[in-house]
Structure 1
């Protein structure tokens, strides 16, 4: 699905959150590669599960045409600075929920880019019958992320012990967090 573009200004930075378009595919490929290398909070290391422009174009098209999926980008004058994706399901037992993924360039942390990508996703989900949004693999040590998610109504639903091996060679726990709208 698609949403209307929405402008924001935080600490002097102007950016827009909008639906991803086919023309964003190449920039998204480079953006994800960069973000994956900036923080161990992401699932991938740089270059893992690489999606080229054609791969992103296919994902954007599929999400645009799917009633329970949404792909958003945050764009400043410099170009794309973040993205979020709600991936819904066609399985009847899971049509009420979507999995959310999010990435923001590290040099844009602190400008509410992640918050605005998430609030736009949440608003879209609430308006379109998505009752549950799930975040899988939130590193237990990602205090800033966990604080943001909790402020937006997400709760920790589970702990996955020794779920991820980071650059220190040690196992790390992750949380499954979710926001449920309704009874």
Structure 2
């Protein structure tokens, strides 16, 4: 069973003088998350998902995903809110087989008009704290496009290290980007 309203949240001061609240998402956030995901992908050249990908999702699809996340103690979905507006999200899922269940990966989005204010850092700090308090999770992983210098810098300041590359891991029209594999042991 899951809680309808999240009482656990973290507050952070961000670069524009406002406060961002980061909390676990609930099924009641599904519609807002769908709308925000589409907006976050409009001007997001470094995201692996596209607006077209999110337009294929229904509200029922999002509710099912959130329900699955809430039921698994090693999955989590956080959302970031500023003045009550959903401005970012981060999700984490661990490996689904016993031998890889100690590690997992995350994906993160922030609305374009809220980028470079510290929202990503707030989401990531919350995720890392969650992982440190989860007895199963030992390693948090990510993939980032090689040209996403701002994100790579953030990840390095948070303690992530490069573990390898997927050469030409992303194809955009007729050009390629390597995916840098990074990880943090918690």
Specify if TM > 0.5. yes
2:149 alignment partner, one of 143, 149, 161 = 143
Partner Cα distance (2:119, 2:160) in 1: 18
Q: TM-score, normalised by structure 2?
A: 0.90
CA contact (8 A) 1:162 1:172 kept: yes
CA distance in structure 1 between the partners assigned to 2:71 and 2:61 by the alignment:
16
Stretches of structure 2 that go unaligned for 5 or more consecutive residues are none
State the shift of 1:63 in Å.
1.0
Encode CA deviations 1:25-52: one digit per residue, 9 max, x unaligned. Answer: 0111111112122111100221125322
Q: Of 13, 21, 34, which aligns to 1:16?
A: 21
Summarize the alignment of residues 1-183 of structure 1 with structure 2, pairs less than 5 Å apart.
4-10=8-14, 11-48=16-53, 50-77=56-83, 79-129=85-135, 130-136=137-143, 138-167=144-173, 169-181=174-186
Three-state SS of the structure 2 residue aligned to 1:37 is coil
Residue aligned with 2:29, SS: helix
Q: Secondary structure at the match of 2:45?
A: coil
Structure 1 position 53, deviation (Å) = 1.8
| TM superposition score normalised by structure 1 | 0.91
Aligned length: 179
Alignment partners' CA distance in 1, 2:19 and 2:28: 21
Tell me if structure 2 keeps the 8 A contact 1:3–1:124. no
Q: By how many angstroms is 1:143 displaced?
A: 0.5
- Structure-1 separation of matches of 2:184 and 2:164: 13
Where do 5+ consecutive residues of structure 1 fail to align? Answer: none
- Which portions of structure 1, spanning 4 or more consecutive aligned residues, are displaced by more than 3 angstroms? none
Residue 125 of structure 1 aligns to a residue whose secondary structure is: helix
